């Protein structure tokens, strides 16, 4: 196997007003997200990168992107929760973003396993991303559902 891929994957939202489409994405620990843009992500992180605020892996993380940064070498992990390995199992991850509050539920739990704050953006580009790094892994995603509201409270 190629040892240059597989740090994890993320569901990310970035400021769409910044014209990020086509910008170079950061590899490895940044999981393919562009640097210096407002937004956030929920990541399934598999590789320990202490410079980014990683404490334990595998973990679910809330990541906050800083518009003043030009590289991915800063502490963008604002919340984390250790989880069982993702290996050979389908997992259900439910993400809610309201203003700057992010809530993550895992495997059908009604209670959040993770909460965090990220910069609020009025208009976002949303997507799934991953990047090369220090591990080998493959991720499959199915049954993606999205609901988008123009409000800060339910």
Q: Note the pLDDT tens digit of each residue in 25-37.
A: 666 777 877 767 8
Between CA 72 and CA 88 the distance in angstroms is 29
Q: pLDDT band at 123, cuts 50/70/90?
A: confident
CA distances from 37 to 4, 64, 102 (A): 25, 10, 17
Give yes or no for a contact between 36 and 90, defined as CB atoms under 8 angstroms apart. no
How crowded is residue 119: how many other Cβ atoms within 10 Å of its Cβ? 15
Over residues 61-74, mean pLDDT: 82
What is the value of pTM for the model shown? Answer: 0.84
Q: Note the pLDDT tens digit of each residue in 89-121.
A: 888 899 998 888 999 998 888 999 999 999 888
Q: Note the pLDDT tens digit of each residue in 2-14.
A: 333 467 888 998 8
Between CA 139 and CA 147 the distance in angstroms is 23
Q: pLDDT band at 154, cuts 50/70/90?
A: low
Between CA 16 and CA 137 the distance in angstroms is 29
Residue 70: pLDDT above 80?
no
Distance, C-alpha 146 to centroid of its chain = 16
The reported pLDDT for the residue numbered 152 is: 57
Q: pLDDT band at 84, cuts 50/70/90?
A: confident
Between CA 124 and CA 44 the distance in angstroms is 21
């Amino acid at each position: 196997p190629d040892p240059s891929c597989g740090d994890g994957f993320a569901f990310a939202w970035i400021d769409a007003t910044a014209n990020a489409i086509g910008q170079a994405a950061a590899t490895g620990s940044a999981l393919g997200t562009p640097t210096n843009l407002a937004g956030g992500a929920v990541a399934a992180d598999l590789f320990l990168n202490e410079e980014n605020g990683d404490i334990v892996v595998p973990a679910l993380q809330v990541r906050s992107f800083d518009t003043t940064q030009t590289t991915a070498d800063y502490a963008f992990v604002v919340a984390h929760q250790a989880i069982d390995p993702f290996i050979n199992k389908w997992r259900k991850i439910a993400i809610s973003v309201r203003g700057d509050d992010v809530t993550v539920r895992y495997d059908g739990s009604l209670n959040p396993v993770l909460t965090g704050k990220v910069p609020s953006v009025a208009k976002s580009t949303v997507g799934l991303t991953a990047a090369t790094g220090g591990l080998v892994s493959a991720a499959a995603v199915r049954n993606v559902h999205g609901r988008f509201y123009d409000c800060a409270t339910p």
